[in-house]
């Protein structure tokens, strides 16, 4: 299973979501102009990344169930 390209892509997307979340939390903690400029953008990118990750997980489960 660890050699499956879809599984590897899922892991990459999940890591990307964690990185985006960390940058967003860091920006929120620091505040200031970075958070004012990028706070909402980070939230949008995190939600998009999570949606992609969930869709890929469902695709992976659907392909492997049959």
Candidates 58, 47, 45; CA nearest to 6 is 58
Q: What tokens appear for 54 in the block?
A: 């969930």
pTM higher than 0.75: yes
User: Residue 18's pLDDT is what?
Assistant: 96
Tokens for 31, please give them. Answer: 């505040």
The model's pLDDT over 7-51, given as tens digits with 9 standing for 90+, comes to 999 999 999 999 999 999 998 888 888 888 988 999 999 999 999
Surface-to-core class of residue 7, CB atoms within 10 Å of its CB (0-12 exposed, 13-18 middle, 19+ buried):
middle
What pLDDT does residue 45 have?
95
* Rounded Cα–Cα distance for residues 1 and 9 (Å): 12
Q: Which residue has the tokens 């999570």?
A: 50
Share of the chain above pLDDT 70, in %: 98
Q: State residue 8's pLDDT score.
A: 94
């Amino acid at each position: 299973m660890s050699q499956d390209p879809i599984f590897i892509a899922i892991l990459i997307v999940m890591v990307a979501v964690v990185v985006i979340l960390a940058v967003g939390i860091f920006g929120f903690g620091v505040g200031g102009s970075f958070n004012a400029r990028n706070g909402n953008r980070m939230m949008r990118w995190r939600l998009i990344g999570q949606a992609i990750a969930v869709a890929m997980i469902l695709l992976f489960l659907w392909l492997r169930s049959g």
